[in-house]
Structure 1
């Protein structure tokens, strides 16, 4: 499976929602499309799913136009819209027929997919009685029913309570081992938990395509923080003379040490502290958190 988005632009009434956007995805990836509300995530998701037409550019799946490959895509909207009077089983039967599956296939597939999403015991319950989390799990079931090569999810947990969020996140974590997933969200912690790669979008434009590790490393100030006890303050003079130390900042008993390379020198600094019998209360890297980095990227002018 290969998804290619090439220079896609989409506007509504003269306002650009997605601006010259390009990206690629390979089989087996779980990619988070991250951005604040109004960044263009849902528009892009709908373009990829061939729900709305793009203005310029193209979307290809396995080298073919996305309009020719809709049966290979599973789509989960932010708010799955089911008929409340249908049971879970009837809903999947109805959705499956729309996807081109025959009744015999569906009779075989539906029990398995309901088991997978934890709803087998509710197959004859009406959807109108379901909680938000249960509806979302049913939505995932309908997205997976026809065994697509790509599953696209639009804000899958943003409208759920903490219990529903946890249920759905656990399910996505499980199914990502069997399929390729692109999900949009403005909740960074969710993407951090289940996605290996981030694509950050702002005002319809891609501003980052990276992994968590790369993003954290790139925003590292190469500073190590060592909290020491009062009796070990003389060690600070030793640290200042180390050849790989660029700067030392002391705030009370907190010592901020800037080094040439965190990876190369963190163990050397720790070893030096132990050799001088320093009572270390805390030893950590002074990196921005992922949320702080994200805010800088999407808020900066």
Structure 2
């Protein structure tokens, strides 16, 4: 599976919601579309899902226009809208028929999908009695029912309480083993937990497309935080003489070490510590947090 978003632009009256946006998504990826409220995430998700048409550009799935490949896409809106008087089973039967699934296929698929989303035993419960987290899991069930190769989710947990959030995040973690996922969110902690790659959008424009590791390393300032025991203080003198160490700051048992290149030198420093039998309590890259990096990216003019 390959999703290609090519130079998509979408405007509403005078406002540009999505501006010349391009990206690709490969099979097996879980990608977070990250941005503040009003950045254009939901509009882009709707264009990708063929709910609205762009003014310019195109979306291709496996080289074909998305309008001809809708069977391959599962879509979860931010607020799934179900008939409260229907049961979970009736809801999935209704949604499945709209997707073109046959009755026999649905009879086999519905119990399986309800088990997968943790709603087995609730098939005859009315949706109106469900909690927010249960409705969202039912929403994921309807998005997965026709076995799509790509599932697109718009802010899947932003409206949920902490328990519902945890339930849905655990479920997404599980389904990403089998399904390619693109999800939009403004909650960075959630994206950090389940996505390997981030695409950051601001004012409808893509400003970053990177992995979390690369983003954190780029903002590491080439510093390492090392905490050692009292008996190993003498190792600090060894560190000062290493050719790739630029600066060193010692506060008690904590040592902040600036190196030439964080990627190359972190392993060299760790090997040196092990050679000298240093008892390491903590060894970490001195990163800005993801939130700090995100704020710098979306707030800067």
Task: Normalising by structure 1, report the TM-score.
Answer: 0.92
Consecutive unaligned residues in structure 2, runs of 5 or more: none
Aligned twin of 2:265: 265
Q: Kindly tell me: are residues 215 and 280 of structure 1, through their superposed partners in 2, closer, same or farther at Cα, counting changes over 3 Å?
A: same
After TM superposition, give the deviation of residue 160 of structure 1 in Å: 0.7
Moved more, 58-67 or 250-259: 250-259
Find out whether 1:202 has 2:202 as its counterpart. yes
Question: 1:59 and 1:277, CA in 2 relative to 1: closer, same or farther beyond 3 A?
Answer: closer
Which piece of structure 1 moves more, 118-127 or 276-285?
Answer: 276-285
Post-superposition shift, 1:86?
0.4
In 1, Cα distance between the equivalents of 2:238 and 2:32? 45
How far did 1:95 drift?
0.7
Structure 1 residue 208 displacement after superposition: 1.0
Pairs within 5 Å for 1:275-290: 282-290=282-290
The equivalent residue for 1:74 is 74
How big is the shift at 1:102? 2.1
In structure 1, what is the Cα distance between the partners aligned to 2:93 and 2:123? 11
Give me the whole-angstrom Cα distance separating, in 2, the residues matched to 1:32 and 1:280.
Answer: 35
Query: Partners in 2 of 1:285 and 1:261 — Cα distance?
Result: 12
Task: State the shift of 1:225 in Å.
Answer: 2.3
Distance of 1:192 and 1:45 partners within structure 2:
19
Q: Offset at 1:248? A: 2.4
SS where residue 216 of structure 2 aligns?
Answer: helix
Deviation, 1:166, is 1.0
Q: Does the residue aligned with 1:220 lie in a helix, a strand or coil?
A: coil
Are the equivalent residues in 1 in contact too, given 2:217–2:262 (CA < 8 A)? Answer: no
Report the CA distance shift for 1:143/1:279 in structure 2 as closer, same or farther (over 3 A).
closer
> Do residues 240 (structure 1) and 240 (structure 2) align?
yes
In 2, Cα distance between equivalents of 1:72 and 1:279: 53
Q: CA deviation at 1:64?
A: 1.4
SS at match of 1:120: coil
1:202-243 deviations in Å (ceiling 9; x for gaps)? 111111111111112222211122345778766655533322
**What is aligned with 1:142?**
142
Corresponding residue number in structure 2 for 1:89: 89
In structure 1, the partner of 2:188 is 188
SS of corresponding position for 1:255: strand
Match of 1:298 in 2: 298
CA distance in 2, matches of 1:112, 1:176: 17
> Secondary structure, in 3 states, of the residue corresponding to 1:184?
strand
CA distance in 2, matches of 1:48, 1:140: 17
Q: CA separation of 1:66/1:232 partners in 2, compared to 1, >3 Å: closer, same or farther?
A: closer
Residues 137-185 of structure 1: per-residue CA shift (max 9 Å, x gap): 1001110111111111000111111111111111111111111111111
Q: How big is the shift at 1:85?
A: 0.3
> Which residue in the other structure is 2:161 paired with?
161
Query: 1:263 & 1:151 partners in 2: Cα distance?
Result: 34
TM-score normalised per structure 2: 0.92
Call closer, same or farther: CA 1:277–1:198 in 2, change over 3 Å.
closer
CA RMSD of aligned residues (A): 2.1
When residues 274 and 13 of structure 1 are mapped into structure 2, their CA distance, relative to the original with a 3 A threshold, is: same
Unaligned runs of 5+ in 1: none
Shift of 1:55: 0.8
Distance 2:138 2:56 in 1: 34
CA distance change for structure 1 residues 287 and 138 in 2, over 3 Å: closer, same or farther? same
TM-superposed deviation, 1:124: 0.5
Summarize the Cα distance change of 1:254–1:49 in structure 2 as closer, same or farther, 3 Å threshold.
same
Q: Which residue of 2 aligns with 1:213?
A: 213
Counterpart Cα distance in 2 of 1:167 and 1:96: 24
Secondary structure at the residue paired with 1:71?
helix
